[in-house]
């Protein structure tokens, strides 16, 4: 399942980011806590070279707690200040301000030595589409500053937002990179909703999810849908996954006229429930599997 998606506006957004990054002290990168490897745009490391860095593991409430801790530790080892958040929950953002101050400690001390006092930290918020950048900014600011949505491509241009006397944020559009070298990356991005659904085969994507769950969380589908069918293992093949999808259709009354199973509708339902956390706390990637990659 070779998924690629790089609409033209992302090239323009990348050029704008390259220019604006000269104006900031800190780059705050949001990743999806369920897929921290796949949701990190490799171009950001190049664009943000020489800048202080922070990683916010957003949607941590939807991810496996043990896996999230592993990723946070890995990013800290790589000298990236990491904070686990749920951008919709203001309480989880309390530690972000302190992390910003820590990440910019050298810059603040340098300013003080030069006699520059009380200059606000300017931070660029970056990440892939639909990772929650605008939701984070609105929650952090305590007001609706940035437009949000549950689909990729809502933020169209860069926007400066002054939070307080000590911090200014630059909201940027979500951008991907021109080509996913690993098939898995495209699949994982599609599963969390960072790829335009209109270009996807949702039935095939749902079968991939069933196979992944069968390998990592075999209890999830039977528990959620009251099914005796077991999720197919990663090596199980498409027919087993389709059988599970048919069982989901039966249990959720996804039916066409005449009682025929509506498999496409069942596939869309399964994907929506995964994305919304209704299947439980699930991580598709674990730090130990990616330790040596993308240094």
158 belongs to an annotated ligand binding site: no
Between CA 230 and CA 247 the distance in angstroms is 10
DSSP string for residues in 130-150: TSSHHHHHHHHHTS--S---S
- The pair of three-digit structure tokens given for residue 233, joined into one six-digit string: 């293992």
Q: What is the dihedral of CA 267, 271, 274, 279, to 10 degrees?
A: -10
CB 274 within 8 A of CB 282: yes
132 belongs to an annotated ligand binding site: yes
- Other CB atoms within a 10 A radius of the CB of residue 202 amount to 19
Phi, psi values for residue 104, rounded to 5°: -105, 20
58 belongs to an annotated ligand binding site: yes
Exposed e or buried b per residue across 66-97, where buried means at least 16 C-beta atoms within 10 angstroms of its C-beta:
ebbebbbebbeeeebbbbbbbbbeeebbeebe
134 belongs to an annotated ligand binding site: yes
165 belongs to an annotated ligand binding site: no
133 belongs to an annotated ligand binding site: yes
185 belongs to an annotated ligand binding site: no
194 belongs to an annotated ligand binding site: no
135 belongs to an annotated ligand binding site: yes
100 belongs to an annotated ligand binding site: no
Instruction: Give the dihedral sign, CA 10/15/16/17.
Output: positive
Helix (H) or strand (E) holding 111: helix 105-113
From edge to edge, which strands make up the β-sheet containing 167-171? 81-84, 52-58, 26-32, 121-126, 167-171, 159-164
27 belongs to an annotated ligand binding site: no
Binding site feature residues: 58-61, 130-135, 174
Q: Output the known binding site for GTP.
A: 58-61, 130-135, 174
């Amino acid at each position: 399942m070779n998924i690629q998606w790089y609409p033209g506006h992302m090239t323009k957004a990348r050029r704008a980011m390259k220019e604006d990054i000269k104006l900031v002290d800190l780059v705050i990168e949001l990743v999806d806590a369920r897929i921290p490897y796949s949701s990190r745009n490799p171009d950001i490391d190049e664009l943000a070279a020489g800048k202080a860095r922070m990683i916010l593991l957003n949607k941590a409430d939807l991810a496996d707690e043990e896996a999230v801790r592993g990723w946070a530790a890995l990013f800290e080892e790589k000298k990236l200040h990491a904070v686990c958040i749920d951008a919709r929950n203001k309480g989880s953002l309390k530690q972000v301000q302190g992390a910003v101050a820590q990440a910019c400690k050298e810059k603040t001390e340098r300013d003080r030595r030069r006699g520059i006092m009380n200059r606000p930290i300017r931070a660029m918020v970056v990440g892939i589409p639909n990772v929650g950048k605008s939701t984070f900014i609105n929650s952090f600011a305590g007001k609706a500053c940035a437009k949000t949505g549950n689909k990729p491509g809502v933020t169209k241009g860069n926007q400066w937002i002054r939070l307080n006397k000590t911090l200014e944020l630059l909201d940027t559009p979500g951008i991907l990179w021109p080509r996913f070298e690993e098939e898995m990356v495209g699949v994982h991005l599609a599963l969390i909703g960072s790829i335009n659904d209109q270009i996807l085969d949702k039935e095939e994507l749902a079968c991939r999810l069933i196979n992944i769950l069968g390998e990592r969380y075999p209890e999830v589908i039977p528990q959620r849908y009251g099914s005796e069918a077991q999720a197919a293992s990663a090596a199980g093949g498409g027919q087993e996954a389709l059988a599970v999808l048919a069982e989901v259709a039966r249990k959720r009354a996804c039916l066409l006229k005449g009682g025929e199973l509506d498999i496409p509708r069942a596939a869309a339902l399964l994907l929506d429930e995964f994305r919304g956390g209704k299947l439980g706390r699930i991580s598709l990637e674990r730090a130990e599997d990616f330790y040596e990659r993308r240094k």
